[in-house]
Amino acid sequence: MTRVQTAYLDDDALDLSGADAAPARVIEIGEITAGIAVPERGGVRFFSSERRFDGLDGTLFRTVEQAARAAREKDRQPRLRAV
């Protein structure tokens, strides 16, 4: 199950030049917090909070839903383990 929750940031953290900015969103995949989607011009930027999602870190998505979908797909990829 994927959950997207609202996270409130300091208004000065986002420079959207007075636009009615949407709040940042926390993206959870099951019990794991994948990262946060922070609004900016042109969409939302994903910042990972779990190593397995680092490949998405810094990516700009058009919508929070696209960021959540990418995180779900990343979670489904097989993980390599050191032996």
Q: 44-52 long-range CB contacts below 8 Å, 24 or more apart?
A: 46/70, 46/71, 52/79
Q: What is the reported pLDDT for 36?
A: 97
1 strand-pairing partners: none
List pLDDT tens digits, range 20-53.
Answer: 567 999 999 999 999 999 999 999 999 999 999 9
pLDDT at 11 over 50: no
DSSP per position, 39-75: EETTEEEEEESSGGGGGGTT-EESSHHHHHHHHHHHH
Average pLDDT over residues 60-65: 97
Alpha carbon 64 to its chain centroid, in Å, reads 7
> pTM of the prediction?
0.72
